[in-house]
Structure 1
């Protein structure tokens, strides 16, 4: 395999070469100008001359238009096949004679992030089964428990991790009793009564983190990991760029060689302000051209923020819609196609 690489893509190309070599492929890269079509054509002709008598195939999907057209011209003149990747149908299509081939689902999350220059430095481990069960129930009941879940999140904000108890009594809004009963049954919290008022005590900082909002990440992760065709679903990921910038991803996975990122928020709407800008930056830097982002929030976004997210083609799931997340995830990823999901 020969990669034609412009100056600004040299670092990424070195990473790609390492990945492809680990997959058992013989790879070399050659520098070319992304603005000089004649130089690109001559570089391609040199590659073809070195392999005279062999069948050489050009992938014309990447690169600049000048690079693609110059390479295409050289291959067309030599009578060699050219193909491109149709990302809408996940198919490899030849520009003239040749079959239509399905793209294999092979790129996992670690490989995808690495190809974009990111190294994972932290990944949250799976939670106990009982916590996942609690998260499923909370997600399914968001429509009835929305106000209680938001109030519980706010109540936990003032809890010191070393004391692990709420400094203020818990107000029993609609659904709060049911939520706390569920959490107590699964060993996640204990309700204590003092002077006729109810306070919460947490067994440990992990349980506190779960109730403060971790439950929503667990709910999304639990749904994703049970979807057919998904590769390497992860939650609580921290990844470091080549420039030393850390990005935090609540839930991330790959499906059909695309990266899907889900941001979760279980608190009041102050967390929603400016969220489309954040998600757009993460999608651009971490997900690349084919990355996709979803925002899942117990509280609802403002109309302006929601419209902005829609305009920027971001999937938003909020409030009572979270109960329908299993179907929404299937539609968002396209997992129902080709008999999957």
Structure 2
């Protein structure tokens, strides 16, 4: 039977995952979690509490004044241990600043209380001062809303848990297979669909757009699936879901479908979502972001941004067949920001783009450790996902 301490002392700083996942493991779940935190991490502690309490874990706070003053931290933890000496308490040494970790380790060792650590890469719990206790893999039980909330991001809304509709899979495969030929007209159609966001009707097609054979063929292909109609020299979308699909949502749904389908071969994929609106409020002002595709694998977060747009807004107003070089810098920087907001080094991010990236942007992605799958590589997206997850 697994050793199961009644109380976990968790050190709150920038590591939310390793504090939450052991406390949510059914075989290791404590009755109480004590959060040791400094004043500047009050919000982080509140986020952890919001995740732990609904699962039936009692949450207590043990505030300290300075996360870098090792002497005062040691005195504070000593006071806690004197108060809790007779109780079954263990230290989760995975989080906190270095002074917090050192002070807590010294006091727990002095009181001969167990200390454990969650390895960030393997998600294994190892006992530091109780070597006779076996290591174990933390259960993959946490779901996306709880994981995101633990990292300070409230889920405002979740997209439908469905991939590409069965009747549109053939169209999606055509778009993937003929990416080189369809790249320019699809970018134009994306822009038109974007302009129809308010009333599901596009602006009037320009003369150049009306006489662009590839664009017109693509419009008719989408029309054949009852996604849109051409009336009075403008495009009319059946409903918002149809407009979203034409506006590039098809690539998001396709990517979601692939990840969802990998669960059979990769049982450690514990939750998958798309079109997730998250809200962060750390300074009294709410900031919204959208995650195109997100999933958890072995308690690690994976984020995928899906892009079918290529041209700047100004150049698309009267689009022709010119080749514009629009860098993907914004998408890459957005992914990098989300990565550090939602788990840091434990979080992996990918950009899936219908269009190729410039050499400059490819180098930027490499520097930021962002996986990319673009243009003709999309036919191998499933294999890319498998390799990326296993890496």
Structure 1 match to 2:102: 69
Q: Distance in 2 between matches of 1:203 and 1:289?
A: 43
Structure 1 residue runs without a partner (length 5+)? 336-341
Q: Cα deviations across residues 286-333 of structure 1 (Å, max 9, x unaligned)?
A: 444422211111111111111111111111111111111112222222
Q: Distance in 1 between matches of 2:164 and 2:359?
A: 37
Q: Distance in 2 between matches of 1:132 and 1:83?
A: 50
Give aligned pairs, total: 327
Q: Distance in 2 between matches of 1:291 and 1:332?
A: 12
1:237 touches 1:251 (CA, 8 Å); kept in 2? yes
Structure 2 residue runs without a partner (length 5+)? 1-32, 311-324
Alignment counterpart, residue 186 of structure 2, candidates 149, 152, 158: 152
Q: Per the alignment, do residues 331 and 238 of structure 1 end up closer, same or farther by CA in structure 2, a change over 3 Å counting? A: same
TM-score by length of 1: 0.84
TM-score by length of 2: 0.74
Cα drift, residue 334 of structure 1: 2.8
Alignment counterpart, residue 87 of structure 1, candidates 107, 115, 120: 120
Q: Does residue 77 of structure 2 align to residue 44 of structure 1? A: yes
Q: Distance in 1 between matches of 2:245 and 2:383?
A: 24
Q: Does residue 300 of structure 2 align to residue 267 of structure 1? A: no
Q: Per the alignment, do residues 220 and 189 of structure 1 end up closer, same or farther by CA in structure 2, a change over 3 Å counting? A: same
Structure 2 match to 1:27: 59
Q: CA RMSD in A?
A: 2.9
Q: Distance in 2 between matches of 1:210 and 1:271?
A: 23
Moved over 6 A (4+): none
1:275 touches 1:305 (CA, 8 Å); kept in 2? no
1:274 touches 1:305 (CA, 8 Å); kept in 2? no
SS of the aligned residue for 1:252 comes to strand
Alignment counterpart, residue 152 of structure 2, candidates 117, 126, 136: 117
Q: Distance in 2 between matches of 1:204 and 1:29?
A: 49
SS of the aligned residue for 1:99 comes to coil
Name whichever of 268-277 and 216-225 sits farther off.
268-277
Q: Per the alignment, do residues 331 and 135 of structure 1 end up closer, same or farther by CA in structure 2, a change over 3 Å counting? A: farther
Structure 2 match to 1:14: 46
Q: Per the alignment, do residues 238 and 53 of structure 1 end up closer, same or farther by CA in structure 2, a change over 3 Å counting? A: closer
Q: Cα deviations across residues 260-285 of structure 1 (Å, max 9, x unaligned)?
A: 21111112252613432222112222
Q: Does residue 245 of structure 2 align to residue 171 of structure 1? A: no
SS of the aligned residue for 1:35 comes to coil
Q: Cα deviations across residues 195-252 of structure 1 (Å, max 9, x unaligned)?
A: xxxx966434432331221111111111122232334422222222113111122112
1:175-254, aligned counterparts within 5 Å? 183-184=222-223, 186-189=225-228, 202-228=237-263, 229-242=268-281, 243-254=285-296
Q: Cα deviations across residues 119-170 of structure 1 (Å, max 9, x unaligned)?
A: 22233334672365246514652xx333314412313424553435871326
Q: Distance in 1 between matches of 2:74 and 2:38?
A: 14
Cα drift, residue 22 of structure 1: 1.1
2:272 touches 2:293 (CA, 8 Å); kept in 1? yes
Q: Does residue 34 of structure 2 align to residue 2 of structure 1? A: yes
